[in-house]
């Protein structure tokens, strides 16, 4: 394990403290409250150092001009989230911009067909901001495991990626069933099997990073037992599948945040600090444009299932304020 320097540790702590600040409602049918701090603590104890900075360091260690990194995102199915949710695509694309600009590399955004419209809308926002360094492209997985395996094999054989990142992307439980954090489930033929990218990367010793906020997302398989014990609903599946909602798919680094987008923005900020590039940080104006584009393309708030400019039950202005505070942490720390 790389030992953090004093300044690196301090900045990493600042970033992690902000990204793990819980904003979930205390009542109602939304996301579980009182869970974020436990989820973060479990992942922090697993890694032994600040999570966003660790992910950024690992990425900086494998990326260089011309290299390829894949970012997989998109969560939710019909009827509540027919085009996916607003948590995931904005974070994935903000991180993609930092990687493309920071390392002059090729970032491939992977999603499934049902989520393609919001993801592409976010990609268009970021595409207009690129300065000519790097490249951001997209690909959509068809549903089912066989189709997912074909796509993964094609990506690895054609592009030879140096890293795979997951931002708010569900992974299967031990029975191969995919879940939302509240226990709702989807069968294998209802989703694209993007998690197979992690399995194939592990076989090829390619870096993997998972960013999530519930334990059902790709990455949390590394700390599965501890997360299941901490889950407010006992990690129980509404379909009564014995292994529950927590995924079995692990990644080399797992970043737990209050909102998955925030985790991606936190890794972006850590990269900006490591590279001494304040311009790589995600800014409020870009956050506003990304959320607006995502919603206009059909994405809904994952907490309420409403097609409005909010993420995980938190209003747009708060997300913009989060990005401003994160940027301030980096600007005063450079």
Give the pTM.
Answer: 0.97
E strand or H helix that includes residue 136:
strand 135-141
pLDDT range class, residue 29, cuts 50, 70, 90: low
Give the domain ranges of the chain.
Answer: 6-331
CATH, range 6-331: 3.90.1640.20
Per-residue pLDDT at 25 exceeds 80 = no
- Lowest-confidence segment of 19-33, 61-75, 136-150, 199-213 by average pLDDT: 19-33
pLDDT range class, residue 30, cuts 50, 70, 90: low
Of 228, 171, 224, nearest to 198 by C-alpha is 171
Per-residue pLDDT at 1 exceeds 70 = no
Mean pLDDT (the chain, rounded): 96
Residues 147-179 pLDDT 10s: 999 999 999 999 999 999 999 999 999 999 999
Q: How many CB atoms lie within 10 A of CB 140?
A: 17
- The SS3 of residue 105 is coil
Q: What is the pLDDT of residue 2?
A: 61
DSSP assignment string, 8-37:
HHHHHHHHHHHHT-----SSSSSSPSS-HH
- The SS3 of residue 238 is coil
| Residue percentage of the chain with pLDDT more than 90 | 93
Report how far residue 309's alpha carbon sits from residue 153's, in angstroms, rounded to the nearest whole number: 36
């Amino acid at each position: 394990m790389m030992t953090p320097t004093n300044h690196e540790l301090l900045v990493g702590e600042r970033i992690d403290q902000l990204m793990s600040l819980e904003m979930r409602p205390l009542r109602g049918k939304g996301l579980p409250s009182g869970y974020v701090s436990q989820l973060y603590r479990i992942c922090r104890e697993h890694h032994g150092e600040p999570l966003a900075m660790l992910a950024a360091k690992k990425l900086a260690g494998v990326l260089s001009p011309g290299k390829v990194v894949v970012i997989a995102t998109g969560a939710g199915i019909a009827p509540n989230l027919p085009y996916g949710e607003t948590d995931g695509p904005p974070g994935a694309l903000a991180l993609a911009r930092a990687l493309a600009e920071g390392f002059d590399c090729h970032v491939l955004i992977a999603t499934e067909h049902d989520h393609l419209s919001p993801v592409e809308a976010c990609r268009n926002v970021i595409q207009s901001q690129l300065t000519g360094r790097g490249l951001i492209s997209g690909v959509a997985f068809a549903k089912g495991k066989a189709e997912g395996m074909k796509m993964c094999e094609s990506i690895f054989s054609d592009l030879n990626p140096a890293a795979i990142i997951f931002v708010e992307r569900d992974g299967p439980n031990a029975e191969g069933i995919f879940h939302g954090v509240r226990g709702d489930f989807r069968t294998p033929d209802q989703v694209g099997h993007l998690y197979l990218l992690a399995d194939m990367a592990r076989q090829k010793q390619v870096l993997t990073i998972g960013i999530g906020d519930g334990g059902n997302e790709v990455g949390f398989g590394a700390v599965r037992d501890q997360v299941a014990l901490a889950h407010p609903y006992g990690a129980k599946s509404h379909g009564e599948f014995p292994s529950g909602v927590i995924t079995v798919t692990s990644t080399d680094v797992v970043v737990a945040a209050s909102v998955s987008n925030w985790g991606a923005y936190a890794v972006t900020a850590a990269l900006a600090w490591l590279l001494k590039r304040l311009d790589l940080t995600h800014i409020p104006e870009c956050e506003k444009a990304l959320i607006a584009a995502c919603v206009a393309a059909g994405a809904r708030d994952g907490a309420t299932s409403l097609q409005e400019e909010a993420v995980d039950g938190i209003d747009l202005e708060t997300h913009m304020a989060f990005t401003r505070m994160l940027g301030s942490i980096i600007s005063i720390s450079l």
